[in-house]
């Protein structure tokens, strides 16, 4: 359940309530907004909820108590009805703006990375994406440059001012990746790697959690709950397509999930049309659909020469196509009452 305090509740009131909850053996998660403080209570047995609601609503500084029936307590909409806004440097994620993350699938070389970073920055991207550690179905595929790739991403950030997002695949690499990245990315194969989710939950950096390719929306939100349960509420959800019987596209983009997440959760929701479709010719159209449905941003793959890309060339946009994508989504962004923020 969640306990919403009156706007004039004092710090001492809040602390006494938290002490009361902890004395009962419940977990407590605090969310302090501009106008309201919300306390999430974890571990309350169903049989006790009615009595607890009555007990805590009697406190003069409590506005109301809301029982939560969903298995995800901290990432559910009631915990923060106004929605979560995440700030990464000068970049705002959520809160009515549309954020664009762009860059190569994987860091191949300094020349390729810096050329791409400079271009997407000039075109209007807000965050640079690029893989230093790359998961792959085949053990013989390219798996990234590791720390060398992380250092190159950091250099690209230094030159362009763009924050970076890169994937972490193993609990043993969280500290290393955290030294360089601004946003952790958890890929589809690791959505249910609960040890990794808990580990990034202990960090104080935003986490993008991609939906597992065979996961329900509820499973996805419960995976996000693993991160939040460790104290990190700065989570970005990302729909990147699920596996179905269709084989024309790499995956099937579930546009329902965008609208559903906005209804069920306070977390920002992104779309990854590159991995969803596997075809660069479809990326712009799917991006437009995602934004129209309420996505807070898109993350796309861009490469100066996709035909020579080490990984994911067929789904990577050329520089010209990336510019066309940005132009195509502008009227959609305006139509749904949002804005594309200027990049730093």
The string of DSSP letters for 291-314 reads HHHT-SEEEEEB-S-GGG-SS-GG
Residues 6+ positions from 301 with CB-CB distance below 8 Å: 102, 103, 104, 105, 129, 274, 312, 315, 316, 317
Q: Which residue has the higher pLDDT, 43 or 306?
A: 306
Residues 6+ positions from 296 with CB-CB distance below 8 Å: 93, 94, 97, 98, 99, 236, 268, 269, 270
CA distance 26 to 44: 7
State mean pLDDT over 225-243.
Answer: 95
Domain with CATH 3.30.70.1140 in the chain: 2-69
What is the pLDDT at residue 33? 67
Q: How confident is the model at residue 140 (pLDDT cuts 50, 70, 90)?
A: low
pLDDT beyond 70 at 13: yes
pLDDT beyond 70 at 161: yes
CA distance 276 to 326: 18
131 secondary structure, DSSP code? B
What is the pLDDT at residue 108? 94
Strand partners, 265: 76
What is the pLDDT at residue 344? 63
What is the pLDDT at residue 43? 79
What is the pLDDT at residue 51? 83
Region of residue 135 (phi > 0: left; psi between -120 and 50: alpha; otherwise: beta): beta
Work out the percent of the chain whose per-residue pLDDT is above 70. Answer: 97
Sign of CA dihedral 69, 71, 76, 79: positive
State mean pLDDT over 20-33.
Answer: 86
Q: Is the CATH number 1.10.230.10 carried by domain 2-69?
A: no
State mean pLDDT over 68-73.
Answer: 80
Q: Which residue has the higher pLDDT, 26 or 256?
A: 256
What is the pLDDT at residue 136? 67
What is the pLDDT at residue 71? 81
State mean pLDDT over 276-298.
Answer: 98
Do β-strands 86-88 and 27-32 pair in parallel, antiparallel, or remain unpaired?
A: unpaired
Among 45-59, 69-83, 166-180, 239-253, which stretch is predicted with the lowest mean pLDDT?
A: 45-59
Domain with CATH 3.20.20.70 in the chain: 86-340
What is the pLDDT at residue 34? 62
Q: How many helices (H) and strands (E) does the chain have?
A: 11, 15
Region of residue 95 (phi > 0: left; psi between -120 and 50: alpha; otherwise: beta): left
State mean pLDDT over 19-30.
Answer: 89
Work out the percent of the chain whose per-residue pLDDT is above 90. Answer: 77
pLDDT beyond 70 at 141: no
State mean pLDDT over 52-68.
Answer: 88
CA distance 290 to 62: 38
Q: How confident is the model at residue 7 (pLDDT cuts 50, 70, 90)?
A: confident
Region of residue 43 (phi > 0: left; psi between -120 and 50: alpha; otherwise: beta): left
Q: How confident is the model at residue 300 (pLDDT cuts 50, 70, 90)?
A: very high
Q: Which residue has the higher pLDDT, 137 or 21?
A: 21
Angle at 69 between CA 67 and CA 73, to 5 degrees: 80
Would you tell me how many other CB atoms lie within 10 Å of the CB of residue 213? 18
How does the average pLDDT of the chain come out, rounded?
Answer: 93
pLDDT beyond 70 at 48: yes
Pick from 83, 122, 38: which is nearest to 261 by CA?
Answer: 83
Q: How confident is the model at residue 144 (pLDDT cuts 50, 70, 90)?
A: confident
Q: How confident is the model at residue 122 (pLDDT cuts 50, 70, 90)?
A: very high
Q: Tokens 């010209």: give the residue.
A: 320
pLDDT beyond 80 at 69: no
Task: Name the CATH superfamily for 86-340.
Answer: Aldolase class I (3.20.20.70)
CA distance 251 to 239: 11
State mean pLDDT over 203-217.
Answer: 96
CA distance 197 to 216: 17
Q: Which helix (H) or strand (E) holds 164?
A: strand 164-167
Would you tell me how many other CB atoms lie within 10 Å of the CB of residue 202? 11
Pick from 39, 40, 49: which is nearest to 11 by CA?
Answer: 39
């Amino acid at each position: 359940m969640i306990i919403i305090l009156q706007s004039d509740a004092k710090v001492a009131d809040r602390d006494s309530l938290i002490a009361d909850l902890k004395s009962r053996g419940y977990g407590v998660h605090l969310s302090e907004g501009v106008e309201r403080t919300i306390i999430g209570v974890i571990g309350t047995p169903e049989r006790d909820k009615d009595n607890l609601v009555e007990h805590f609503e009697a406190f003069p500084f409590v506005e109301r108590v809301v029982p939560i029936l969903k298995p995800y307590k901290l990432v559910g909409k009631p915990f923060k009805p106004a929605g979560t806004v995440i700030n990464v440097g000068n970049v705002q994620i959520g809160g009515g703006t549309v954020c664009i993350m762009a860059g190569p699938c994987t860091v191949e070389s300094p020349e390729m990375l810096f050329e791409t970073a400079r271009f997407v920055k000039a075109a209007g991207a807000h965050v640079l994406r690029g893989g230093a550690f790359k998961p792959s179905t085949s053990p013989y595929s390219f798996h990234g440059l590791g720390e060398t790739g992380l250092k190159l991403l950091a250099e690209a950030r230094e030159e362009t001012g763009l924050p970076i997002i890169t994937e972490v695949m193993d609990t043993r690499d969280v500290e290393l990746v955290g030294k360089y990245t601004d946003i952790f990315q958890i890929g589809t194969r690791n959505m249910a790697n609960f040890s990794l989710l808990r580990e990034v939950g202990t960090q104080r950096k935003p986490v993008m959690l991609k939906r597992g390719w065979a996961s329900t929306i509820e499973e996805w939100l419960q995976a996000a709950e693993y991160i939040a349960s460790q104290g990190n509420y700065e989570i970005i959800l990302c729909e990147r397509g699920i596996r179905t019987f269709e084989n024309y596209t790499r995956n099937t983009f579930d546009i329902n999930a965008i609208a559903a997440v906005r209804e069920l959760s306070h977390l920002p929701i992104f779309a990854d049309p590159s991995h969803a479709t596997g075809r660069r010719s479809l990326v712009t159209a799917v991006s437009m659909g995602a934004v129209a449905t309420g996505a807070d941003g898109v993350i796309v793959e861009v490469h100066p020469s996709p035909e020579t890309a080490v990984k994911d060339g067929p789904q990577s946009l050329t520089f010209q196509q990336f510019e066309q994508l940005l132009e195509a989504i502008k009227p959609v962004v305006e139509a749904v009452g949002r804005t594309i923020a200027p990049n730093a």
